Structure 1
Amino acid sequence: MVTVTDLDTPFLAVDREVLESNLSAMAGLAAERGISLRPHAKTHKCLEIARRQLALGAVGLTVATVGEAEVFAAAGCDDLFIAYPVWAAGHRAERLRALAERVSLSVGVDSAEAAELLGKALAGTSARALVELDSGHHRTGVHPAEAGQVAVAAERAGLPVAGLFTFPGHGYGPGNRTPAALDEARTVAVAVAILRGRGIEPAVRSGGSTPTAGVAERELAAAGVVGEGLTELRPGVYAFNDAQQVELGSADWSAVALTAMATVVSRRADTVVLDAGSKTLGADQPGWATGAGRLPDHPDARVVALSEHHATVVFPPDVSPPALGSTVRVAPNHVCNAVNLADELVVTARGQVVDRWLVAARGRNR
């Protein structure tokens, strides 16, 4: 039997038991709340994990790009939501139509102009639109007061509107999880009333993120948020978790399923250098993060610098750093970026290598 220490580093290892626990916990949370789960597959990009999520009751998958949708459609995933405003011009319009002819396809829209293009590209198919709302992240989406205008434009373009969606991405900050969930709930409530006033029933109200998914409904009620809430959750990172989720309080180290395995290649005093840099871990480091990744087995150590192929880690003065040649685990700050840099995930159970999963949607960025 091959162990993780038998393999050349660096590589991404997935603890199968922790992964399964994470998947089951989120499926249970959605079921307890009586809402659908549509996980965001851009995190894992992996057919084996998608199939596990669907087997646990997910109604379909969320994807980031047409290319990701094509990969999962080809593997038999027949209910897909592209959760961004899609600009259906040129060859992309043809690809969207081909998708809509083989799967149940939903697309995001946040402007009348995009709705017109989508209506032309998807005419005669069963595809439907969800109007994106800006609930405070200020990336894409419209103010809830403008949701009715976009929805009417989509309907006029021949694209049925199934509902609304939003991404409370501003929950990615210390202390922001509950406020972002509240913003999301209030935004959706306003937009629901507006769409109904235009004669459009928003049967699908999709939202959520890994940081905000665990905010209990009682917290929303205590803040005076009432009315019909989400019907669907779209978390992605929860499958693996990462250093960000631990620092945000959304997960603890025992729930981090994916880590980069790295070797100590240099050592001096309180500092070691690992052979896993930004080309393995990704380069994301939000301003509030305490390092460029974390070491779950050495929580007081800090990754103070990343180069392309190396990470510099500083240990507290009273802690002896790992020996030269030893293998350590590094949790990336943002696991989605790390996975997109890997060809495969090495699946482990109690330190033994039990499988290898292809990152099937790697690089499908358009």
Structure 2
Amino acid sequence: MVIPLPDGLATPTLVVDPDVLDRNISQMAEASRSQGFALRPHAKSHKCAQIADRQLRAGARGLSVATISEAEIFARVGVDDLFIAYPVWLDADKTQRLRRLADDVVLRVGVESAEGAQRLGKAVRGSARPVEVLVEVDSGSHRTGVRPHAAGEVGKAAADAGLDVAGVFTFPGHGYGHDAQARERAARDEERTLSEAAQALRDLGIDVRVVSGGSTPTVGRWRPGEVNELRPGVYVFNDATQLTIGTCGVEDLALVAAATVISVPAPDRFVLDVGSKVLGSDRSPWVTGHGYLPQFPQGTITGLWEHHAVVRLPEGVRGPRLGSLVAVVPNHICTPVNLADELLVVRDCEVIDRWQVTARGANT
């Protein structure tokens, strides 16, 4: 059973089970520590000061973020070691903001081009603390990042711009591929490409201290070796995609969207008051429909509008009554969190706290 929902909830809303959350955080911290990896979890999945604090107290070295504004917000709540795991392209506004961050926290930034490194070097020149950079490498997801052999060129440009080149990083997005070997293949691709990229830096005399990879799907597939830092994010909550690809079990789902049944037009169909403005619209080749229904695991969310979710049930499965509360596990948790103002913390069918989504909408 996933997060028993209290009666009287105003829906739709996101609900967190703090015990499952803490267990997920503790297990990832221990798994990373026992295998010799530093853990720098990605905070874009939760955007919440209370959860960041739990991760740091469990042993995380610092946090990864996706944007300057996320870094600014977490710095304001006391996080003093941040990696912007993104090839930031600086305009005048971002230059000023990044410079202020560099004066206040231990800051690490991603780069993937010589031009981007040069702009970054100018932006932070003379800052109170040295700014580290990691060169982003494409390990197979074909998003951003250079080929491993090109990491040396970018690293040299960064070093020439006065930046502290600490190492390399990647995101193994192809670990979400729709085949049984995708996670294993992505982990091996990460190891190979990061090793090659690190060597390209060493060949130029750059001291490689950080080799950073890992996502929630691949983190359990890592083998000790060249890689020394992991950056999973979704693991704190998990979601329908992680459940379906086997990264987690139902007992590891720490967040659901609570919804109310607003219509029962047929025995095999009901409608919830939750839509894309709460669940997001992400689809996954692994997941049938727009989310997972723990109370109705055979049901499928076949239609999603901004404020409606239509659920179909197989023949013979009894549906909920009008006005019932139903839990929905989103396909991809990061988007619903970014759409929410707060997370309701529920234990034993009682709301025990409300956590602000501190970095909600921090997309610049």
Farther-moved stretch of structure 1 (143-152 vs 319-328): 319-328
Stretches of 4+ moved more than 2 A in 1? 286-289
The structural deviation recorded for 1:216 is 4.5
Note the C-alpha offset of 1:28.
0.7
Q: Deviations over 1:11-32 (max 9, x none)?
A: 0000111101100110011111
CA distance in 1, matches of 2:206, 2:6: 54
Aligned residue-pair number: 356
AA matched with 1:10: P
Q: Pairwise mapping of residues 58-137 of structure 1 onto structure 2 (< 5 A)?
A: 58-125=60-127, 126-137=130-141
| Structure 1 contact 342–359 (Cα < 8 Å) conserved | yes
| Structure 1 counterpart of 2:161 | 157
Counterpart in the other structure of 2:43 = 41
Please state how far the C-alpha of 1:350 moved relative to its aligned partner.
1.8
Q: Tell me if 1:172 matches 2:176.
A: yes
Q: What is the aligned partner in structure 2 of residue 234 from structure 1?
A: 231
**Residues 181-209 of structure 1: CA deviation (Å, up to 9, x unaligned):** 01000101111211111101211011100
Preserved CA contact (<8 Å) 1:264 1:328: yes
- The CA deviation at 1:289 is 2.4
Shift of 1:172: 1.1
Structure 2 letter corresponding to 1:357: W
Question: What is the SS of the residue equivalent to 1:362?
Answer: coil
* Contact 1:173-1:248 at 8 Å conserved across structures: no
What letter is aligned with 1:257?
A
Q: Which residue of 1 aligns with 2:345?
A: 347
Distance, in Å, in 2 between the alignment partners of 1:298 and 1:25 is 28
Alignment correspondent of 2:297: 299
Indicate the RMSD between aligned Cα atoms, in angstroms. Answer: 1.2
2:70 aligned counterpart, secondary structure:
helix
**CA distance in structure 2 between the partners assigned to 1:249 and 1:34 by the alignment:** 24
Match of 2:312 in 1: 314
Q: How does 1:250-265 map to 2 (within 5 A)?
A: 250-265=247-262
**3-state SS in 1 of match to 2:261:** strand
2: CA distance, partners of 1:98 / 1:138: 32
The residue aligned with 2:193 is 187
Letter of the 1:180 counterpart: A
Q: Distance in 2 between matches of 1:173 and 1:264?
A: 33
SS at match of 1:62: strand
Specify the alignment match of 1:54 in structure 2: 56
- Aligned partner of 2:281 in structure 1 is 283
Distance 1:288 1:346 in 2: 28
Contact 2:245 2:286 in 1 (8 A): no
Q: Is contact 2:169-2:212 (8 Å) kept?
A: yes
- Following superposition, the deviation at residue 173 of structure 1 comes to 2.3
Cα distance between partner residues in 2 of 1:331 and 1:64: 23
* Secondary structure at the counterpart of residue 214 of structure 1: helix
Identity %: 55
Distance (Å, rounded) in 1 between the aligned partners of 2:231 and 2:108:
14
Cα deviation 1:75-97 (Å, max 9, x = unaligned): 11000000010112211001000
Deviations 1:121-151 (A, max 9, x none): 0112311100000000100000001000000
User: Are residues 1:144 and 2:148 paired?
Assistant: yes
Matched ranges for 1:318-333 at <5 A: 318-333=316-331
Return the alpha-carbon distance in structure 2 between the equivalents of residues 290 and 15 of structure 1: 25
Q: SS of 1:101's equivalent?
A: helix
Give the distance between the partners of 2:261 and 2:177, measured in 1 at CA: 31
TM-score (norm 2): 0.96
Q: Counterpart of 1:210 in 2: which secondary structure?
A: coil
Is 1:300–1:316's contact at 8 Å kept on the other side of the alignment? yes
2: distance between equivalents of 1:246 and 1:20?
18
